[in-house]
Structure 1
Amino acid sequence: MRIGQTTTKLFIVTGLLALAGCGDGGFGNFFGGGTETVVVNNERPARERSRPERETIWDLFADRDDPNTTVEVNKYLWNAALDVLNFMPLEAADPFTGVMVFGYGTPPGGGGAYKATVFVRDPALDARSIEVAVQSRGGAVSTETAHKIEDAILARARQLRIQDYNL
């Protein structure tokens, strides 16, 4: 082995150890270990609460999004559904799962009362991202009616997006 190769390997190892020693975790953090923390009253110290939990350097590449804090609902579809179905009272809404439950309401110019459940399942603005279930007081409504409502919501969502971007 030549001296140049040995020097290069030495620099790489030294650099890795220097990176591992950065922060308050010491060398143990780089290799998967960690420092012990005393927990009082079931609370983590303030300096640990503010930073994400990472055990090793490889955790930086892991997909660790918390589904309770990431919202993956298309905002245009969400707002369009509220606009199109504004004649129905909103009974429940969960933006984290994309579900909106509307109570019975009579559409303008219509005779019967309907209720609907809207499920925005994807952040994309396309027809596969939304599903609507409609019911009248007499029972389920035809799938054609539900598809017409989905189309109206999609059209309104596209209008909202165009307004946002001033296209």
Structure 2
Amino acid sequence: MGNKTMTNEEVIEQVKQGNWCAKFQPKQKANVNNDGNLIPKLTPQNAEQGHLVQMLLAIMQKIPVEVNFGGEWTTSTILFPSMGYEYRIKPTPLPISREAWSFINKTWQYAAMDECGAICLYERKPTKSGRGWDTDFNVSDCPLNINTDGINWETSLTERPEGV
């Protein structure tokens, strides 16, 4: 019979002839470990596990991840879930040079991009809110033409460098 897919009628005919042996092919290969045992599909059980799964996916997809180790954020290529470390996607600040900051009024201490790609300047540090950034202080559109290719709006918050 080979690997030919049979119609219902052909199967019934085989059964009538006493051929009760049927070979079933799974539509996709089962998820098995090296011992041949099935691996159950696991899902995160809480927000912490969900966050760690996202960090693992980021590492596997070559998205830079950082770990807070002793109060300092440093690049990480491995997770230590039982150690209680804090992990995050590495911030991708806006590419605003020190020289460009020197042309911006010192009132503006932060810049950030919203989900739509619009860049604003902020007097005080804004917080993420929905699809953008929110603050109770002054906000201004950014007059600079900034290349935002590859910038994640959620990690785009950029602080004015010291001394500029």
Scaled to the shorter chain, the TM-score interval is under 0.3
Normalising by structure 2, report the TM-score: 0.27
Higher relative contact order (CA 8 A, sep 6+): 2
Normalising by structure 1, report the TM-score: 0.27
Q: Of Structure 1 and Structure 2, which has the larger fraction of its residues in helix? A: 1
